[in-house]
Amino acid sequence: MNQLQNFSKGLIKENPVLVLILGTCPTLATSTSVTGALGMGAAATIVLLCSNIVISALRKIIPDKVRIPCFIVLIAGFVTMVQMLVKAFAPALDASLGIYLPLIVVNCIILGRAEMFAQKNKVLDSAVDALGMGAGFTLALCLMATIREVFGAGTFMGMEIPVLIDNKISIMTMAPGGFFVFGLLIAIVNKFFKNKPKKKDFGCAGCPSAAICRKAELGEECA
Amino acid sequence: MKKLMSSVSPHFHGAITTQKIMLDVIIALMPALIASNIIFGLRALLVEAVCVAVCVLSEWGFEKICKKEVTVSDLSAVVTGLLLAFNLPVGIPLWQAAFGSIVAIVVVKQLFGGIGQNFANPAATARIIMMTAFSGTMTTWVFPDGVSSATPLAIMAKGEGDLPTYLQMFLGYRGGCLGETCVLALLLGGIYLIARRVITWHAPVAFIATVALMSLICGKDVGYQLMSGGLMIAAFFMITDYSSTPAENIGKLVFGVGCGLITILIRFWGNYPEGVSYSILIMNILTPYISRLTRAKPLVGGGK
């Protein structure tokens, strides 16, 4: 796999949010405004990049049986650093992201990439994978946030949009609207970008993570 | 020689079609439609026309896009449009009414598989979504002479303002949504539907009786509780929807009682003055369980 493919798979083909359906919680919670979405995407990408590099570098040292706690500790360390930096240099962003900034620790995308990719690939590959996945996460977040902010609040990155500001559909910025836009985007991506799985492909073989999943390699079904 | 045709039951078909049933419902809604135009002025007709037109168009459009069989001629989209319009205030901006209609047909009905497959009542669910999305315009009640008026439930909840008399309530001269205010017209329509055997009495009677009983127990005015809010229109036209309510008579009774209890809970102890549409949605979700628990036992071989 060349590096370009390695990077671009995260954008659409294996988009962490819209295809792998990881990181749903921060996606729904922080996509109410484009600014917040960009901030969340950037923070998660930095953590993902650092954690992927370090986990990949330590992959031969970390014992297999305790790998999850090791990953969590490493990720938590990077999240703490990012959180301190954001608090110091972008307090407004810290206020708007609130609890979701420290919650990056348990973001499935970061743990998922550590488990599925970084622990069995070289450092450079893992770094490129992290950048691609981070970009895909940010892209999906921004797309959702654009739809929700423009129609729900009548603004784009805080700028008022002439007609829409008087005709807000405020449900779009609330939780139900988030779920709705999320479902809509997944449906569109499935329709236009994903090869439809053949009937027999339902199950592990049809899973977008099949190529990198341990259980699929062994031919086991993950429940 | 004819081939032997084998098919699953039922082998005998009545002459009843979805179209005929929906036509009966539309006829039953006509008194309320006329009443809404007398009470709220001709803008009511405009809102109703927009809702019906957008519902039918979005049903047609969605089925065309998804290459499904076009079911516009069964008139169910017309009924949904009318019911949704009856649940909107007269001053609602038309684009919001159109938005609600698209939500009702595309999101609540078609995405779940179209007629007969939707788990929730399209009109009630669209109304709830619109209440959340447009809380300002959805709670502004204006009469044709420009006087805005709170709904009786809101007046009772706040404890200030003049309540309309019983007669005004019965004829529908009160603040409220288009089709829900005129009890007389809704009763006429409901009795017509029961007489035509389109609906049975179980759910409406259970619903109304539960609200009446609970109001009595809680020391509230039974007459106002029964005649205000969307209770009457829901009793006859919304909790009798075929696809989102139980099919068995006992199930219908349970459904009606449940709707009544939730309505009372929201009205007396909740934040909103009115809880009918929420009660319908909550009971819609419980419908599969009610159906399973109240299913009639087969006479033989049913024990397991």
What's the pLDDT band for B302 if we cut at 50, 70, 90?
Answer: low
| Cα–Cα distance for residue pair B70/B60, rounded to 1 Å | 6
Any chain A CB within 8 A of the CB of B131? no
Please give the pLDDT value at position A206.
Answer: 63
Helix B43-65 and helix B94-102, axial crossing angle in degrees, nearest 10 = 40
**CB contacts, 8 Å: A178 with chain B:** none
pLDDT tens digits, one per residue of B67-98 = 888 888 889 999 999 999 999 998 899 999 99
The 3 state secondary structure assigned to A118-136 is HHHCCHHHHHHHHHHHHHH
pLDDT surpassing 70 at residue A197: no
CB B133 within 8 A of CB A171: yes
Q: Which fold has domain B18-293?
A: Ammonium transporter fold (1.10.3430)
Mutation to test the A interface, candidates B95, B132, B135, B137, most A Cβ within 10 Å: B132
pLDDT tens digits, one per residue of A139-190 = 999 999 999 999 888 888 878 888 888 788 888 888 888 998 999 898 888 8
| B-contacting residues in A 161-180 (Cβ below 8 Å) | 167, 169-172, 174, 176-177, 180
CA-wise closest residue to B153 among B209, B226, B94, B95: B226
CB B92 within 8 A of CB B138: yes
Q: Which residues are A160's β-sheet partners?
A: A155
How far does chain B reach from its first CA to its final CA, in angstroms?
43
What's the pLDDT band for B1 if we cut at 50, 70, 90?
Answer: low
pLDDT tens digits, one per residue of B250-291 = 999 999 999 999 999 998 888 887 889 999 999 999 999 998
Contact B134 A169 (CB under 8 A): yes
Q: Which residues are A156's β-sheet partners?
A: A159
Other CB atoms within a 10 A radius of the CB of residue A141 amount to: 24
| Cα–Cα distance for residue pair B185/A85, rounded to 1 Å | 66
Contact B129 A169 (CB under 8 A): no
With respect to residue A86, please indicate whether it lies within any of the assigned structural domains: yes
Q: How far is CA B254 from the centre of its chain?
A: 17
**Phi, psi (5° rounding) for residue B231?**
-60, -45
What's the pLDDT band for A213 if we cut at 50, 70, 90?
Answer: low
Structure tokens at B91: 């001053």
Contact B93 A172 (CB under 8 A): no
Other CB atoms within a 10 A radius of the CB of residue B13 amount to: 7
Q: Note down the domain range covering A114.
A: 3-192
Other CB atoms within a 10 A radius of the CB of residue B113 amount to: 12
How many independent structural domains does chain A possess?
1
Structure tokens at A170: 């405020």
With respect to residue A132, please indicate whether it lies within any of the assigned structural domains: yes
| Cα–Cα distance for residue pair B237/A127, rounded to 1 Å | 60
Closest Cβ opposite residue A171 in set B93, B95, B132: B132
Residue B291 burial class via C-beta count within 10 angstroms: exposed 0-12, middle 13-18, buried 19 and up = middle
- Domain ranges (residues) in chain B: 18-293
Please give the pLDDT value at position B140.
Answer: 81
Please give the pLDDT value at position B304.
Answer: 47
Please give the pLDDT value at position B285.
Answer: 93
User: What ipTM was reported for this prediction?
Assistant: 0.73
Contact A176 B132 (CB under 8 A): yes
CA-wise closest residue to B221 among B162, B269, B271, B152: B152
Give this prediction's pTM: 0.81
**CB contacts, 8 Å: A174 with chain B:** 132
What's the pLDDT band for A198 if we cut at 50, 70, 90?
Answer: low
Q: How far is CA B47 from the centre of its chain?
A: 17
The one-letter amino acid code at A39 reads G
With respect to residue A205, please indicate whether it lies within any of the assigned structural domains: no
